[in-house]
């Protein structure tokens, strides 16, 4: 899969390094707003020894239009880690060419979200404000547990580095999805903590905790790889990370098989 990245901030760089190291993707180019780093090679800049034949250069928006870039270096997927208006640069061209769009922009205003959905009539579009596998798995699992035990008290604890302002956007989404008011989010800010989200279920005589800890921003890269794989062969339309994960919760054959071995175990124990 040939991939282009829009945006080259801290997260964009981390994702680029995961894509460069994956055998399933070829990083064709990065486009960013700033002209700094123009024409530098991404693997060289990131200090990664890449066997990719494509140089994977960095361009700025001002220098070339997306069509000029795509004509020279076509891609199958555009991954967007820029900001809410990144879409204006590449959206229409990508849709027209049938390129899959994966946007991890954390917040869109109403009109941009509408725009994204219109593009989804022409091509495969995915958008998720938090693109890590762990957080998205936890969100679905938590909804299920709430369904099983609706009488439990649920609290969300999130920990981040001292400078992070306000409540984490991910914690807000978790709370919203679980039907909790924001008061149930407890916000811890200390030192250089990268990011911890915990969902605590309090039963009368037991607790269940689902806890996600980010080690580095590269965690987003694995989420992107998962998305790219699972969007392949999908019909055009609008998807979320949750949509891609849900089929795994339907417990396909392989899982049901494991479950049916229960009693073999019991026989042996």
> Is 48 among the residues that bind a copy of itself (CB under 8 A)?
no
> Which of 2, 115, 143, 164 touches a copy of itself (CB under 8 A)?
143
Among positions 197-226, residues that touch a copy of itself (CB under 8 A) are 200-219, 221-222, 226
For 227, the enclosing helix (H) or strand (E) is helix 219-231
Nearer to a copy of itself, 93 or 141 (CB): 141
116-123 contact pairs (CB < 8 A, 24+): 116/87, 116/91, 116/238, 117/238, 119/91, 119/92, 119/94, 119/95, 120/236, 120/237, 120/238, 121/236, 122/95, 122/96, 122/98, 122/236, 123/94, 123/95, 123/98, 123/99, 123/236
**164: annotated active-site residue:** yes
| Contacts (CB under 8 A) with a copy of itself, residues 49-108 | 107-108
Min separation Cβ 113 and a copy of itself, Å:
6
Binding status of residue 118 toward a copy of itself by CB under 8 A: no
Catalytic residue among 61, 127, 160, 197: 160
Determine the 3-state secondary structure of 164 from DSSP.
coil
Strands 153-160 and 100-103: unpaired
| Region 243-262 residues binding a copy of itself, contact defined as CB under 8 A | 245-246, 248-252, 254-255, 258-259, 261-262
Nearer to a copy of itself, 10 or 96 (CB): 10
Pick from 96, 169, 182, 229 the residue near a copy of itself by CB under 8 A: 169
Q: Which of 138, 133, 161, 261 is nearest to 208 (CA)?
A: 138
For position 145 contacting a copy of itself by CB under 8 A, the verdict is: yes
Q: Name the pairing type of β-strands 196-202 and 153-160.
A: antiparallel
Q: Name which of 148 and 235 has its Cβ closer to a copy of itself.
A: 148
**Active site positions, annotated:** 160, 164
């Amino acid at each position: 899969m040939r991939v282009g990245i829009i945006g080259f901030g801290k997260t964009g760089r981390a994702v680029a390094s995961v894509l460069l190291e994956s055998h399933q993707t070829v990083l064709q180019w990065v486009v960013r707003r700033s002209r700094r780093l123009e024409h530098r090679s991404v693997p060289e800049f990131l200090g990664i020894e890449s066997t990719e034949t494509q140089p994977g250069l960095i361009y700025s928006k001002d220098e070339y239009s997306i069509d000029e870039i795509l004509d020279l270096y076509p891609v199958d997927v555009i991954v967007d880690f820029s900001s809410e208006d990144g879409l204006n640069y590449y959206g229409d061209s990508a849709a027209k060419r049938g390129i899959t769009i994966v946007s991890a922009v954390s917040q869109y205003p109403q009109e941009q979200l509408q725009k994204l959905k219109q593009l989804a009539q022409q091509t495969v579009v995915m958008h998720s404000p938090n693109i890590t596998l762990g957080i998205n798995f936890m969100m679905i699992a938590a909804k299920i547990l709430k369904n099983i035990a609706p009488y439990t008290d649920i609290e969300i604890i999130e920990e981040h580095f001292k400078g992070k302002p306000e409540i984490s956007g991910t914690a807000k989404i978790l709370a919203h999805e679980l039907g909790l008011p924001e008061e149930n989010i407890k916000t811890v800010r200390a030192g250089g903590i990268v990011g911890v989200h915990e969902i605590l279920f309090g039963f009368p005589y037991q607790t269940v905790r689902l806890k996600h800890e980010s080690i580095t921003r590269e965690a987003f890269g694995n989420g992107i790889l998962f998305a790219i794989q699972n969007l392949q062969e999908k019909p055009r339309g609008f998807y979320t990370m949750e949509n891609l994960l849900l089929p795994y919760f339907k417990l396909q054959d392989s899982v049901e098989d494991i479950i049916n071995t229960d009693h073999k175990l019991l026989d042996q124990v």
